[in-house]
Amino acid sequence: AQKVTQAQTEISVVEKEDVTLDCVYETRDTTYYLFWYKQPPSGELVFLIRRNSFDEQNEISGRYSWNFQKSTSSFNFTITASQVVDSAVYFCALSVRGGATNKLIFGTGTLLAVQP
Amino acid sequence: NAGVMQNPRHLVRRRGQEARLRCSPMKGHSHVYWYRQLPEEGLKFMVYLQKENIIDESGMPKERFSAEFPKEGPSILRIQQVVRGDSAAYFCASSPWGPGGYEQYFGPGTRLTVT
């Protein structure tokens, strides 16, 4: 069975602080894909990043960076110099290769509040 | 290129009525997914459709819920005889390809309230 755990329910930081959102996943499949989505207060879901299980390179996009470690089954997300606009719920998700579907299995999300 | 469109954005139904939620995928996308977000919970997969076919409905409740994605027109998620427990945000997502871990692009969601 597949599972995604986001142990941090809520995080509150002050603007310009760095913050890391944790994501731990479980799967027995050797080929799988990991995602992060952002859900701002307006409610829509915004795609941030996709990673496949064979690519453990860390990725940086502006103030965002992702650390994928297969050894610990983690795919953590760091925001550097946080801003108020980063306030949102962040979801980590997993999909596995094989079968006829591509469904995403989501964690329960981490609510990030960035205070001015 | 317009994103995924969902309508209505907000829908209020009384218990026992029917709810119809519509989803138009991004241009060029023929794979549609529906997810439900209950209050205080994450998103749960409901159903995956390609044009005219239901591929995976393992997350759909057995009764009262159905989905379709006709050759022409939007995908429809239909909930018959709604109950208060159906109150949730329903999200549609689309992708250009099927299985293979491709990213899914989400619509703004439909917030269903059952009174």
Tens-place pLDDT, residues B49-104: 998 899 999 999 999 999 999 988 999 999 999 999 999 999 999 998 777 778 89
pLDDT average, residue stretch B108-115: 96
Query: CA of A37, closest CA in chain B: separation in Å?
Result: 10
Predicted pLDDT at A98 = 66
The first and second tokens of residue A72, run together, are: 């610990």
* Residue-wise pLDDT tens digits, A38-89: 999 988 899 999 999 988 888 888 999 999 999 999 999 999 999 999 999 9
Predicted pLDDT at B52 = 86
Q: What is the largest CA-CA distance in chain A?
A: 47
Predicted pLDDT at A114 = 97
Are A99 and B99 an interchain contact pair (Cβ–Cβ within 8 Å)? yes
* Residue-wise pLDDT tens digits, A7-45: 999 999 999 999 999 999 999 988 899 999 999 998 889
Closest residue by Cα to residue A25 from A91, A102, A100, A89: A91
Query: CA of B40, closest CA in chain A: separation in Å?
Result: 8
The first and second tokens of residue B83, run together, are: 């109950």
Name the interface residues of A facing B (CB cutoff 8 Å): 31-33, 35, 37, 42-47, 50, 52, 91, 95-109
Report helix, strand or coil for A36. strand
How many CB contacts within 8 angstroms connect chain A with chain B? 78
Residue B96 per-residue DSSP state: S
Residue tagged 């591929």 (tokens): B55
Q: Which candidate from B55, B89, B105 shows the least CB-CB separation from A100?
A: B55
The first and second tokens of residue B39, run together, are: 């209050």
The length of chain B is 115
C-alpha–C-alpha distance, residues B38 and A59, integer Å: 32
Q: What is the largest CA-CA distance in chain B?
A: 40
